[in-house]
């Protein structure tokens, strides 16, 4: 859309907007997105089914064999895998924000937003805020299922710290997928790209199994995989163990992704034709 065809209201959209107005716009858009979920409850199916399916699948299919390698059985594996699944929650919710953002573009909703005198960042911040709410809901479902299959919760504050760390990393990944949602042509392309990125990160990490038995080249990959650091940190917090190194690695990855990708996502959103 060229600036020559913009309405007077749209022409004001690129003028500096006070922080208070940004917050008001973001709040209004959060409310709009929540109302949309209320009208379309099927959009919450992934937040409900994903933690249920993954927890039951890995506990009952792989729990016995991997649990033995951990020196126990299925009960031992439950304690190992639940923190890993918690770490993975934000990443899987991040993919959904990219496909939803792309669908909004193709339906014309974003063209309407960009014609209004609102902060461009407000649209993206609102998307991330609502997706974080969905992630917290999915995390609650995961913990309920984990308790049902025998997970023993330790200190509550450590559990909350793990959830907060997962939300931090998930929000950083959301900026990556928001960028993909803008630049890719359709939602299927966003999903395909997300699959190519997320699958190696998920299974080339310590989320589902210890990395000691992996080939040397794969262990080298897991050492630099931020999901391994996040899973190890969540495991250390929830089960007891060293967390300092994994915590710093996760925070550095999260801050780095946000600092780099947030301006890119906002710029691509502003300039998309």
pLDDT in tens, 66-121: 888 887 788 889 999 999 998 888 787 787 788 888 887 777 777 677 677 777 77
Say how many domains are in the chain: 1
- Residue at 155 is within a domain: yes
Q: Say if residue 10's pLDDT is above 50.
A: no
Residue 211, number of CB atoms within 10 A of its CB: 17
- Residue at 7 is within a domain: no
Torsion-angle region of 201 (φ positive above 0: left; ψ -120 to 50: alpha; else: beta): alpha
How many Å is the Cα radius of gyration of the chain? 20
Comparing 42 with 127, the larger pLDDT belongs to 127
pLDDT at 185: 83
pLDDT in tens, 109-159: 776 776 777 777 788 888 899 999 999 999 999 999 999 998 888 778 888
- Residue at 13 is within a domain: no
Q: What percent of the chain has pLDDT over 90?
A: 26
Cβ neighbours of residue 190 closer than 8 Å, sequence gap 6 or more: 95, 98, 99, 102, 177, 180, 181, 184
Cβ neighbours of residue 121 closer than 8 Å, sequence gap 6 or more: 22, 266
pLDDT in tens, 168-212: 999 999 999 999 988 888 888 888 888 888 888 888 888 888 888
pLDDT at 35: 87
pLDDT at 16: 65
The residue count for the chain: 273
Full domain range(s) for residue 169: 18-271
Summarize the confidence of residues 9-25 as an average pLDDT. Answer: 63
pLDDT at 1: 40
pLDDT at 170: 92
pLDDT at 195: 83
| Residue 85 near residue 231 (C-beta atoms within 8 A) | no
- Residue at 148 is within a domain: yes
- Residue at 34 is within a domain: yes
pLDDT at 4: 38
- Residue at 74 is within a domain: yes
Q: Say if residue 9's pLDDT is above 50.
A: no
pLDDT in tens, 217-255: 888 888 889 999 999 999 999 887 788 899 999 999 999
| Residue 55 near residue 74 (C-beta atoms within 8 A) | no
pLDDT at 152: 87
- Residue at 10 is within a domain: no
Q: Say if residue 64's pLDDT is above 60.
A: yes
Cα 1 to Cα 5, 121, 257, 271: the distances in Å are 7, 18, 29, 9
- Residue at 136 is within a domain: yes
């Amino acid at each position: 859309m060229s600036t020559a065809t913009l309405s007077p209201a749209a022409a004001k959209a690129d003028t500096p907007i006070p922080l208070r107005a940004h917050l008001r716009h973001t709040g209004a858009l959060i409310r709009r997105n929540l109302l949309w979920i209320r009208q379309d409850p099927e959009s919450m199916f992934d937040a409900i089914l994903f933690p249920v399916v993954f927890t039951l699948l890995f506990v009952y299919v792989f729990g016995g064999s991997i649990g033995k390698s951990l020196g126990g059985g299925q009960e031992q594996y439950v304690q190992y895998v639940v923190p890993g699944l918690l770490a993975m929650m934000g990443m899987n919710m991040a993919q959904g924000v990219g496909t939803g953002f792309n669908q909004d573009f193709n339906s014309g909703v974003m063209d309407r937003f960009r014609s209004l005198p609102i902060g461009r960042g407000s649209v993206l911040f609102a998307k991330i805020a609502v997706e974080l709410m969905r992630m917290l809901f999915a995390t609650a479902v995961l913990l309920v299922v984990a308790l049902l299959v025998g997970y023993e919760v330790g200190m509550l504050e450590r559990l909350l710290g793990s959830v907060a760390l997962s939300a931090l990393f998930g929000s950083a990944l959301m900026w990556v997928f928001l960028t993909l949602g803008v630049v890719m042509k359709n939602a299927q392309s966003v999903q395909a790209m997300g699959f190519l990125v997320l699958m190696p990160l998920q299974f080339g990490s310590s989320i589902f199994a210890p990395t000691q038995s992996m080939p040397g080249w794969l262990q080298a990959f897991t050492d630099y995989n931020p999901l391994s650091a996040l899973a190890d940190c969540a495991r250390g917090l929830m089960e007891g163990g060293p967390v300092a190194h994994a915590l710093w690695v996760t925070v550095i990855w999260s801050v780095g992704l946000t600092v780099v990708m947030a301006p890119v996502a906002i710029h691509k959103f502003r300039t998309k034709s």
